[in-house]
Structure 1
């Protein structure tokens, strides 16, 4: 099986993979998100930046269904998914990674990715062991090539460095046939060499797979994105290309600091 089958870049109603219309999330009196309006094209690579508490991860949680929206609507390739359970959003091709690693420490890398592929397949409840030419096993090996873990396939997850574990999380997000991925701070805690590897992995993803990346490492975020949405106090306050955002005086003053450049 190929790593990922080609998906149409157009939804039935337009060219957007992800649309948020007036999305808000309240926690009692706390307004974590307010009137988020965002349209992200199929295949687009978008960065969402902002200081701690700006609402970035809450936005991801609303898109994936981990949190309900207090107000607003979310559409995924033209389909309203606002009230669809999180597991059904996964089956529609939406994936995400998390800030805190959630891995199978007792398994090998290959076994872990195989289970991730099996978990989103039609045969996920089968008790049969995989055959030599099992499609999920073939896809797992292909994914390990894509995330630079193929040579370490037989290593136990518990023995991996932090950076290798972050690469494994990306492998999980590629399981099945993802149409769009949300990356939540994938460069957190990585060394300079591991950051360069991460940029290479994201840059080599199939062009039909779009993603949004939350990242505090601005050098990484601006290198792997085509467009940037800046958040502040639960709202989107500025958007533009990486070059426009990097050179914007207000953004530099608030987020980048006087020494950036």
Structure 2
């Protein structure tokens, strides 16, 4: 296993072959340093988990990647392009998507309507007032995405009538709208039952191979089952990286998750 990738002043060699590159990313909020010189590189199609206790910097890291926050220092490249100062919508146009810890759904609309609107929102015709027909290409794409997340049986069900687990599945379908190249999943298993977690694992492992993602997750069992690489964070820094089996067996990781901390 690889110990901390970065120490002060270190860097990662970049290249157009990576889907995502974070080079010495730091983020300060006044005197608080939420991220400290974080370096991560992710290959196209790679599935990676970012783990850590509350306050480790995981959500801040996601916010910097998506453009919700601008890093205090460092650089972010997405498929070889420097997007460090790009607004969130420009990153979306380049194929980056994200889910959130809190559901962002249209509760008064059906499952299909929600996914259709997501597809419409990233399409060239998003400002059209034309009512879609059954043969509308975006409507067909929406139906396919609903099937991808195992919700075909609830296609015309109002979101307000879905179970919490089904709502999380719907969020994944919406994140897949517009053929994204990379997705950030923010704690998709939070609040799910064991049965719903098993369904989530099936959905994530069944996504098209070219779609890479990073998943933030407190449920280590879920995270290790859906990822091929794991990055452990603590106090805004990376202190471990490795394969799921290596991370699971690492005594420092176990101590952190069991409350022993990491010095």
Q: Give the shorter-chain TM-score range.
A: over 0.9
Report runs of 4+ in structure 1 exceeding 2 Å deviation: none
2:42 counterpart residue number? 40
Unaligned 5+ runs, structure 1: 1-12
For the residues of structure 2 that align with 1:204 and 1:148, how far apart are their CA atoms?
Answer: 11
Tell me, which stretches of 5 or more residues in structure 2 are unaligned?
1-14
| Residues 143-174 of structure 1, C-alpha deviations (whole Å, 9 max, x = no match) | 00000111101110111111111011101100
Secondary structure, aligned partner of 1:122? coil
Q: Partner of 1:46: helix, strand, or coil? A: strand
- Look up the SS of the partner of 1:58 in the other structure: helix
1:60-79 pair list within 5 angstroms: 60-79=62-81
Q: Specify the alignment match of 2:157 in structure 1.
A: 155
The Cα of 1:186 is off from its aligned counterpart by: 0.2
The counterpart of 2:60, out of the listed 58, 61, 67, is: 58
- Tell me how far 1:14 sits from its aligned partner: 2.9
1:7 alignment counterpart: none
- Trace 1:1-261 onto structure 2 (pairs within 5 A): 13-256=15-258
1:5-53 alpha-carbon deviations (Å, 9 max, x no partner): xxxxxxxx53210000010110000000010000000000000000000
The superposition leaves residues 212-245 of structure 1 with CA deviations (integer Å, 9 ceiling, x where unpaired) of 0000000000000000000000001110000000
Aligned to 1:16, what secondary structure does the other structure show?
coil
Distance 1:256 1:145 in 2: 38
**Matched residues in 2 for 1:240 and 1:76: separation?**
22
Please give the secondary structure, in 2, of the residue aligned with 1:144: helix
Structure 1 CA distance for aligned equivalents of residues 203 and 258 of structure 2? 25
Q: Given the two structures, how large is their TM-score scaled by the length of structure 1?
A: 0.93
Equivalent residue pairs, number:
247
Rounded Cα–Cα distance in structure 2 between residues aligned with 1:191 and 1:28: 39
